Amino acid sequence: MCKWLAVTISALVSLSCLSPAVAQSRRGELRGAWMGEGYGRDWPAIMTSLKDNGFNAFFPNFSIGNMALYPSKVLAVLPDGDASRDELAEAAKAARENGIELHVWRINWALWRTPEDLLAQLDAAGRLQCNSSGQRGKDDPDVKVDWLCPSNPENRKLEKEAMLELVRSYDIAGVQFDYMRYPGGDYCFCDGCKERFQQSQGVKIEKWPDDVRDGGPFAEKWQQWRRGLITSSAQEISDAAHALKPDICVSLAAWPDIEAGRDWYGQDWVPWAREGALDFVCPMDYTTDDAHLAGLVARQVAEVRAAVPVYAGLGAFEMKSGEQLISQVEVARSEGADGFVAFAYGSGDLDKWLPDLRATVTATEPDPMPHISPPARFTFSGDATQSPAGGRDVIAAAKLEVEIVLGWEPPTSDETAPGAAEAVAMLDRILNQRSTVDTYESQPPAGLQPTDAERISGRIVVESPAGASLLVLGAFDTEWRFERKLSFTTPEGSFRLAIYGAVAGPKGKRDFVVRAPLMVGVKAAL
Ligand SMILES: [Zn+2]
C-alpha cells in the first residue's frame, strides 16, 4: 500500500544565495582515507580522529602479496609487528565503535616485502611472472618486484583464500583489491601462461611469443585471455566473499585511465563495476591539476553509469596545502563522484589538514553510505533528453521524465526469493548507449537485502552536485517497492536526481541514499 505524500514539482530552492567561494559539505557520501602498513598503530586514536573530522571510511593495508600483517593462516606473517597484537582485530573494533567502515586494502599478486627464500621457492615452482624476454619482475627496472602469475592455479587459490580469510575472520565492512592487474603490457609470458593459453585455445603456438604479440595471429585472443584471468579472479573472489557475508563490500583501487587499465594492465574494471563484481570503485585519480581530475572523474562516472558509486581517490601526498585537497573534493563532487578517498593517512600532511576539511567540505555528518542502498532503476525520457551533445548534457528548462523503480518484488506465497526478477535484462539496458530513453540501474552486490526491508520510504529531490536541494519532487512510504513516473523542468547547470530514504524490517531501520548520474542542463541554442 503506497502512500504518495506530496508531489510538488516546483518547490524550487534558489542556489543564488550560496556563495560559490565557500566550500560546502554534503551528506550521503563516503569520506575515506587509505593508510600504508597497519602495524604499530594506535587504532582507537586513528578512528576517533577520522570520526571527529567527518570521515566514515578507512582503508588500511594489512595484506601484501604473500605476506600478512595479521596472524594469517594463508599468508606468511611479516615480522615487523608486535606478535602479541592482532592489529586488524583492534582496528576493526575501534572502527565499529566510531561508526567508521573498515575496508582492508590488499595488494594482490605483487610480492613486495616477500623474503628472498620464499621468492626462490615460488620461482622454483614456476609461480612468478616473466616478461617476453623471460625476465622476472624484480629484474625489470620498470617493475622492480616479482609478481605472482595469475594463470597459475596455486596463485589464484592463494589470492582467493587471502581475501576470504579477511572476510571470514574479521568484523570488517569490506575488502579492497589493489594491483588487481599485471605489472605492464609485457606480462605474463611465463612457461605456465604459454602452456595454459595453448590449452585454452586448443592450438599450438609456433612462434612464441611473437604470435601473441601485436600483429601476431593470436594477439587479440591473447589480450582477451590475459585480461579475462584478472576479471575472473576478481569475480570469483567477489562471489565467494558475498556468499560468506552478503553485506561485505568488495571494492577496487582502480587504474584511473580506463583504456590503459584494460589494454596494458589487463584491468578491465568498468564491466566489473557494471556487472556485479564490485560494490564501489575508487579510481586512483592522483594529480595536482584540478582540470585533469575533473576529466578523469567525469569519464569514470559516465562509464560506470551509476551501477555502483564512484569514490575518487585523491593524491593528498602530492598536494601542498589543505586548500588544494578541499578544492579536489569539490571537483570530484561536481563531476558526479559519490565521495572520495585520500591517499594517505599517516603520511605527508593529510593528518594535519583534516581540521581544515572539517571546517569546510566535511562539516556535516557524512552518512548514509551510497553503496548501501536498495536496488534502484532510473529511466529518463522527455524533451530534455534530446540534447544534440548527448552524454550527460540535457536541455535546460525542458521537461525531463523519470521512471523510478526502487526496492524489491514483494515476497510471494510460494517463498520465491524476493528480488530475483530484478536482474532480468539488466545488462542489456545498462549497456545501451544514451538515446532518447536512458536507463541507469544500481544494484551493488552488498546493497541492502530484501530481508532488511518490509517498508521503504523516502524523499525524492533534484540536487546540486554539492548536495544543495534544487527541487523537491515528493515523498513516499510503501511496502517493498516504490515505482513512480515523475517529470520536472530541468535546471541549468549540473544536477542529480537523489532519493534519501530509509528501509525498515526485522533488523531495524536503515537510512540510505541513492543517486542517478550527474546531468548538466544546457540552454538550447536559439
Ligand atoms: Zn604467467
Q: How far apart are CA 223 and CA 226, in angstroms?
A: 5
Confidence check: pLDDT of 82 > 80 = yes
Per the structure block, which three cell numbers stand in for 299?
569519464
Confidence check: pLDDT of 304 > 50 = yes
Residue 402 CB partners (closer than 8 Å, separation 6+): 378, 379, 380, 381, 485, 486, 487, 488, 497, 516
Q: How far apart are CA 109 and CA 114, in angstroms?
A: 11
Q: How far apart are CA 427 and CA 137, in angstroms?
A: 37
DSSP symbols for 51-82: HHTT--EEEEEEEETTEESS--SSSEEPTTS-
Q: How far apart are CA 160 and CA 154, in angstroms?
A: 10
Q: How far apart are CA 477 and CA 503, in angstroms?
A: 10
Confidence check: pLDDT of 221 > 80 = yes
CA of 157 to the centre of ligand 1 (A): 15
Per the structure block, which three cell numbers stand in for 134?
623471460
CA of 317 to the centre of ligand 1 (A): 33
CA of 112 to the centre of ligand 1 (A): 18
pLDDT, one tens digit per residue, over 419-467 is 444 444 444 444 444 445 699 999 999 999 888 778 999 999 999 999 9
CA of 107 to the centre of ligand 1 (A): 18
Using pLDDT thresholds of 50, 70 and 90, give the confidence band for residue 38: confident
Confidence check: pLDDT of 185 > 90 = yes
CA of 411 to the centre of ligand 1 (A): 47
Q: How far apart are CA 343 and CA 350, in angstroms?
A: 8
Q: Which domains does the chain have, with CATH numbers?
A: 3-19+372-522 (2.70.50), 50-109+147-181+222-358 (3.20.20.80)
CA of 86 to the centre of ligand 1 (A): 34
Q: Can you give the pLDDT at residue 506?
A: 85
Q: Which residues pair with 40 in a beta bridge?
A: none
pLDDT, one tens digit per residue, over 384-421 is 999 988 899 999 999 999 999 999 988 776 544 444 44
CA of 197 to the centre of ligand 1 (A): 10
CA of 206 to the centre of ligand 1 (A): 18
List phi, psi (to 5°) of 327.
Answer: -60, -40
CA of 113 to the centre of ligand 1 (A): 21
Q: Tell how far CA 437 is from the center of its chain.
A: 26
Q: Say if residues 371 and 249 touch (Cβ distance below 8 Å).
A: yes
Q: Can you give the pLDDT at residue 413?
A: 61
CA of 65 to the centre of ligand 1 (A): 16
Q: How far apart are CA 91 and CA 172, in angstroms?
A: 9
The pLDDT of 275-292, averaged and rounded, is 98
DSSP symbols for 436-503: SSEEEEE--TTS--GGG-SEEEEEEEEE-TTS-EEEEEEEEEEESEEEEEEEEEPPSEEEEEEEEEEE
Question: Which comes out higher in pLDDT, residue 418 or 275?
Answer: 275
CA of 196 to the centre of ligand 1 (A): 9
- % of the chain surpassing 70 pLDDT: 91
Q: Which is nearest to 234 in space by CA: 192, 265, 188?
A: 265
* Helical (H) or strand (E) element with 281: strand 280-283
> Within 13 Å of residue 17, how many CA atoms lie on the same side as its CB?
6
CA of 431 to the centre of ligand 1 (A): 32
Q: Is the peptide bond before 344 cis (omega within 30 degrees of 0)?
A: yes
pLDDT, one tens digit per residue, over 341-375 is 999 999 999 999 999 999 999 999 999 999 999 99
Classify the phi-psi angles of 77: left when phi > 0, otherwise alpha if psi is within -120 to 50, otherwise beta. beta
Report the predicted TM-score, pTM, of the whole model to 2 decimal places. Answer: 0.92
CA of 131 to the centre of ligand 1 (A): 9
Confidence check: pLDDT of 303 > 50 = yes
Confidence check: pLDDT of 17 > 70 = no
CA of 232 to the centre of ligand 1 (A): 15
Beta strands in 144-257 (DSSP E): 174-178, 249-254
CA of 470 to the centre of ligand 1 (A): 53
Q: How far apart are CA 491 and CA 11, in angstroms?
A: 12
CA of 416 to the centre of ligand 1 (A): 44
Confidence check: pLDDT of 10 > 80 = no
CA of 59 to the centre of ligand 1 (A): 29
